[in-house]
Every structure is written in C-alpha cells, then in structure tokens.
Structure 1
C-alpha cells in the first residue's frame, strides 16, 4: 500500500505527520492519535478481520484491488472507494463486509 493510500485510509493530511506517528509507535513511545485517525484504524481493522473471515489472508489482498460488481463499488475496486478521501466511503466498505459476514 502506498503512503498516499495509508494517509487517506487513516485521515492523515500530511505524509510527514504520518511518518512521525509511525516512528513514535515503532520505538514504543506513547502517542495521542486524533479521533479521525482512530476511526480510520477501526475501519481498517474491521475490513481486515472481515476479509480474513470471508476469504483468507492471501485472497483478501487481491480483493481490495479487484473490480467489484456489488452496487456499492459500481465496478471499481474497494481500495479506490476506501481511499476516495471521504471517510463515509471507508465506513461503507467496512459495513458492507460486516453485512457479508452475517448474511
């Protein structure tokens, strides 16, 4: 995943800020994350968990970049929707996958 995709998924506007957060986390420093970053992390973890349950780790990697016929995606891949810059789109992908888990 590109740095740009990471920033969009987490809601971090600046690449330098993202790298600083990563560096602090890697050395074990306490960090305070903005609410929008925590929400982004929550959505990404939900998406990941759903994909591993529905598919498996290997297939889930391909799913996020494959075209999808479900109405939510309109033929686009999930990654393009998740990184649209609109947090609702990321949340909608998480909800879609949760609904698929319980279908």
Structure 2
C-alpha cells in the first residue's frame, strides 16, 4: 500500500505526520493518536483479519485491488472504495468481509 493510500485510509492529511507516527512507534515511543485515526486503524485491522481468514496471502493482496461484482463495490476494487475519503466506505468494506466470514 502506498503512503498516500495509508493516509487516505486513516484520514491523515500529511504523509509526514503518518511517517513520524510510524517512526516513533518503531522506536517504542508512546504516541497519542486522534480517535478517528484509531477508528480507521480498527477498520483496517478488521479487513486484514477477515482477508487472512477468507483467503490465502497472495489472493488477499489481489482481492483488495481487483474489481468486485458485489453490490457494495459497484464493479470497483475494495481499495478504491476504502480510500474514497469517506470513513463509512471503509467501515462498509470491513462489515462486508465480516459478513462473508460468518456466511
């Protein structure tokens, strides 16, 4: 995932801010993140966990970028929906995958 996509997923306006958070986390420093960023991280982790359960690693990478026929996606790939700038779209992808897990 590109740095730009990471920022879009977490609704962070500045790539430098995200990079700083990652460097500080790797250094073991304590970081205080805004609630909306934490919510975005939770959604991303939910998507990741669902993909790990539903698909093998190689297929999961492809799934995120492949066009999808499910009504939610309207032929778009999950990544384009998740990075639309609307948190609800990211939440909807996470919910969709959860529903697929329990189908």
TM-score band w.r.t. shorter chain: over 0.9
Q: 1:11: how far off? A: 1.6
CA RMSD, Structure 1 to Structure 2 (Å)? 0.6
Match of 1:46 in 2: 46
Q: 1:16: how far off? A: 1.2
Q: 1:10: how far off? A: 1.2
Deviating 4+ runs (over 6 angstroms): none
Deviations 1:46-76 (A, max 9, x none): 0001011111122101000000000000000
Q: With structure 2 as the length reference, what TM-score do the two structures score?
A: 0.97
Q: With structure 1 as the length reference, what TM-score do the two structures score?
A: 0.97
Superposition pairs for residues 10-25 of structure 1, below 5 Å?
10-25=10-25
Structure 2: gaps (5+ residues): none
Q: What is the number of equivalent residue pairs in this alignment? A: 103
